[in-house]
């Protein structure tokens, strides 16, 4: 179910749940209700450039949804950094085409949410290919 047009997300978890529901459903309007309407929002899709601004982000999601088939998505929460006005989550997204789990592609994503007058909204999404979800394949030191 997509959030109502005037949705106010009372928690960052509600916002993140709505983001992934919209992504899995391929619902552009529901996706854009999650995002802040600020021109400073940033979205990076795997292998792509930084997309800055509401209209540019919307156009990118529109292209993705119009060219992708029905996806199945499993999200594994890994890390969350929480402050009173911002939350940053790092998750692993496991995509597959509906009904075919054999082609799952892991994606590491960092999502940034801020709290404003209209509740919590997404201001950043950065996704990139991830190594297989195995303790032997994950480096112990990142930098």
For 21-68, the pLDDT digits (tens) are: 999 999 999 999 999 998 999 999 999 999 999 999 999 999 999 987
Question: Which H or E run contains 23?
Answer: helix 12-25
Estimate to the nearest angstrom the gap between the alpha carbon of 23 and the chain centroid: 8
88 Cβ neighbours under 8 A, 6+ residues apart: 80, 81, 110, 111, 112, 113
Band of the pLDDT at 140, cuts 50, 70, 90? Answer: very low
Cα–Cα nearest to 9, from 120, 110, 135, 134: 120
CATH number of this structure's domain 12-129: 3.10.450.50
Cα–Cα nearest to 39, from 56, 54, 59, 50: 54
Question: What integer is the mean pLDDT of 4-19?
Answer: 87
pLDDT(114) > 80: yes
């Amino acid at each position: 179910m997509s959030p109502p047009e005037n949705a106010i997300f009372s928690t960052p978890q509600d916002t993140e749940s709505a983001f992934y529901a919209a992504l899995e459903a391929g619902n552009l309007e529901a996706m854009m209700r999650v995002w802040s309407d600020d021109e400073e929002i940033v979205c990076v899709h795997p292998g792509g450039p930084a997309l800055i601004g509401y209209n540019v982000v919307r156009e990118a999601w529109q292209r993705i949804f119009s060219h992708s088939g029905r996806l199945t998505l499993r999200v594994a929460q890994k890390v969350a950094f929480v402050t009173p006005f911002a939350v940053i989550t790092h998750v692993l997204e496991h995509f597959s085409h509906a009904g075919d789990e054999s082609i799952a592609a892991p994606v590491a994503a960092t999502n940034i949410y801020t709290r404003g007058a209209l509740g919590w909204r997404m201001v950043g999404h950065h996704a990139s290919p991830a190594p297989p979800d195995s303790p032997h394949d994950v480096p112990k030191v990142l930098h």
